[in-house]
Amino acid sequence: MPTDSLPLVRSWWLALIHNLWMPAVLVAIVWIGRELEFADRPGPYVMHVAMIAGINIILAVSLQLTIGVSGQFSLGHAGFMAVGAYLAGYSTFVFAPWNFDPNADYPDPRQLFANPGATLMSFVALAVVAGIASGLVLGLFLLIRQARRIFPALPLILITIFLIWIVVDARNAFNSPEIPTLCIWSRGAIGLVHLYNAILLHSRSAGLWLSATLPDAWRKPASLMVAIVGGGTAAAAAALLVGLPTLRLRGDYLAIATLGFAEIIRNVIVTIPALGAATGLSVNVYWTKPSPADQIFEPFYMSPWIFGTAALTLMLIGRLVRSPTGRAIKTVRDDEIAAAAMGIDPTHHRVVAFVTGAFFAGVAGALYVHLDGYLNTNSFSFMRSIEIVVMVTLGGVESLFGAAIAAVALTAIPELLDNAERFLPGALTPQAHWMADNRFVLYAFLLLVIMITRSKLKGAIRKTRRKRIPQTQRS
């Protein structure tokens, strides 16, 4: 049974082994299986579904941390997944270029993924530029807040002035062939883009040097690793940005605010030409093996990565929940004022939970882009966020394990229903197809029924403990 706190271990490396041996064994099994081509038996389709299930596990578990453990109802999870997916995809796209000769069968595999150093440098450049931009915005914000001392309504006036200034600036910049000198905001924005490119250019040699230090065979996995961690970190940074204004809100407002931010993120991504704009981003994926033989694809390359990351996520988040930080987060969820009275900073712990959840969402996104190879903002809509929320809820909002099981079930069952001919007797096939086609209606109905009946049971059990008045401020 799950213990409430972690077992005491003598030294840090023993602790590491104690925790990591299981995911490591799993990764080893899957990796060996991949090399020995065991995956040929279930076939690419089943493996594809299994890998999607793995990604959904990561998403569901990370959302469970945010919703269940920390009590913050976030509807913007798909937005963070999008950030991770697009940035990881972009770095792969740029630094593993698609050398495509239209008349050949496939690009020369030896030239792909050979430069992890450059991938790393691109994320570093992004971090620098994002840091500068956020620093400026934060500075401005602090300035405005300090203005409150002079005159109580001054912040509002200042904000209005700034907004009008930015609009006029953008209009002038947009309407003239080249940006006038006085358009400070637009020039600043363009300047940041130039800075990014300049950093990339100057760090090229550093990147190549870094790549050269790695043995040949390690470059490809290193590239992928950088992309995944970079995507996760970018998503975490986005969550920090999103969280700052919104995390002091109560549950209902937070839901809408996170939803709003996810939509804004999607809106912004769809207008950036470098990220594919409306067409979507097509990315070369890691299935290419440098081999002279005809079959130079390994469609299951991502399988140890995905399953390993899923195991790692479960382990890490499980650890976090059972650690003192996790207990603090749960306390903040249960009674914020009591927690504050005990010296636990509610905002800090909420932010930690939110950002960690977003980090793993970004990681899931990065894995997704390297699995499918194509990104379109329509895949990261509000509906996707809701699907993940459904997984968490059906698995039991309090249970990490439940969220993972529900993720697998909700990924696998529609596919099973679709392929019903092979499993069910013929008479039931139309019903199975009907269920697969209408599965969202069924999810909604199931969710409704579960929420109502479970709560009735829970209500009966908790009768003695909870107050009955629905006006309680706590969620």
Partner 1 sequence: MPQFQQFVQQLINGLSIGAIYALIAVGYTMVYGVLRLINFAHGDVYMIGAMTGFYASTRWFHLQQPTWAGFFLVLVCSMLVCGALGYFIELLAYRPLRNQPRIVSLITAIAVSMLLEFGGQAKWMFGPDPKPFPDLIPGVEAHPDLVHMGQLVIGKVDAMIFLIALVMMFALRYVVRQTKMGLALRAVSYRFDTAALMGVNVNRVISFTFVLGSVLAAVAGVLVGLRSPKVDPLMGLLPGLKAFIAAVLGGIGDIRGALAGGFLLGITEAMVVSYFPKGSEYRDGVAFLVLIAILVVKPSGLFGRAVQEKV
Partner 2 sequence: MRRDILILLLIGVTSWVCRAARADDDIVIGEFGSLTGGTATFGTSTDEGLRLALDEINSSGGVLGKAIRVVVEDDQSKPEAAVTAVQKLISEDHVIAVIGEVASSRSLAAAPVCQRSRIPMLSPSSTNPKVTAVGNFIFRACFIDPFQGAAMANFAMNNDKGPKARRFAILYDVKNDYSVGLRQFFTQTVKANGGQIVADESYGEGDIDFKAQLTNIERAAPDAIYVPGYYTEVGLICRQARDLGMSIPLMGGDGWDSDKTFQIGRDAVNGCYFTNHYSPDEDTPRVKDFVAHYRAKYANKTPDAMAILGYDAMGMLADAIKRAGSTDGRQIRDALAHTKGYPGASGNITMDARRNAQKPIVILKIENDQAHFVATVQPDAAGSGK
From the list partner 2, partner 1, none, which binds 444 (C-beta under 5 to 8 Å, kind-based)?
partner 1
Binding site for partner 1 (CB under 8 A): 67, 71, 73, 155-156, 159, 167, 170-171, 174-175, 245-246, 249, 251-253, 255-257, 259-261, 263-264, 267-268, 270-271, 337, 382, 386, 389, 393, 397, 438, 440-441, 443-445, 447-448, 451-452, 455-456, 458-459, 466, 468-471, 473-475
Alpha-carbon torsion (30, 31, 33, 37), positive or negative = positive
From the list partner 2, partner 1, none, which binds 469 (C-beta under 5 to 8 Å, kind-based)?
partner 1
CA distance 302 to 17: 24
CB 238 within 8 A of CB 83: yes
Residue range at the interface with partner 2 (CB under 8 A); choices 104-112, 327-335, 345-353, 354-362: 104-112
From the list partner 2, partner 1, none, which binds 221 (C-beta under 5 to 8 Å, kind-based)?
none
Instruction: State which residue, 31 or 185, has the beta carbon closest to partner 1.
Output: 185
Report DSSP state, residue 8.
P
> How would you class 464 by CB atoms within 10 Å of its CB: exposed for 0-12, middle for 13-18, buried for 19 or more?
exposed
Closest approach, Cβ 67 to partner 2, in A, equals 19
CB 365 within 8 A of CB 234: no
Name which of 365, 405, 429, 303 is nearest 42 in CA terms. Answer: 303
For helices 382-394 and 43-64, give the axis angle rounded to 10 degrees. Answer: 80
Instruction: Give the Cβ contact number of residue 298 at 10 Å.
Output: 17
From the list partner 2, partner 1, none, which binds 44 (C-beta under 5 to 8 Å, kind-based)?
partner 2
Report residue 143 as tokens. Answer: 């300035």
> Which of residues 17, 28, 35, 100 is near partner 2 by CB under 8 A?
100
> Which of residues 31, 141, 374, 443 is near partner 2 by CB under 8 A?
374
CA distance 21 to 172: 60
Report DSSP state, residue 66.
I
Report residue 92 as tokens. Answer: 């792969």
Closest approach, Cβ 347 to partner 2, in A, equals 30
Per DSSP, the three-state class of 319 is: helix
Residue 142 interacts with partner 2 (CB under 8 A): yes or no: no
Contact code string over 276-315 relative to partner 2, x by CB under 8 A: -xxxx-x--x-x---------x-x-------x--xx--xx
Report residue 199 as tokens. Answer: 């950093």
Report residue 452 as tokens. Answer: 């109502």
Instruction: State which residue, 348 or 439, has the beta carbon closest to partner 1.
Output: 439
Which positions touch partner 2 (CB under 8 A)? Answer: 22-23, 26, 29-30, 38-39, 41-50, 52-54, 57, 100, 102-106, 270-271, 277-280, 282, 285, 287, 297, 299, 307, 310-311, 314-315, 318, 372-374, 376-379, 400-401, 404-405, 408, 412, 415, 418-419, 422, 437
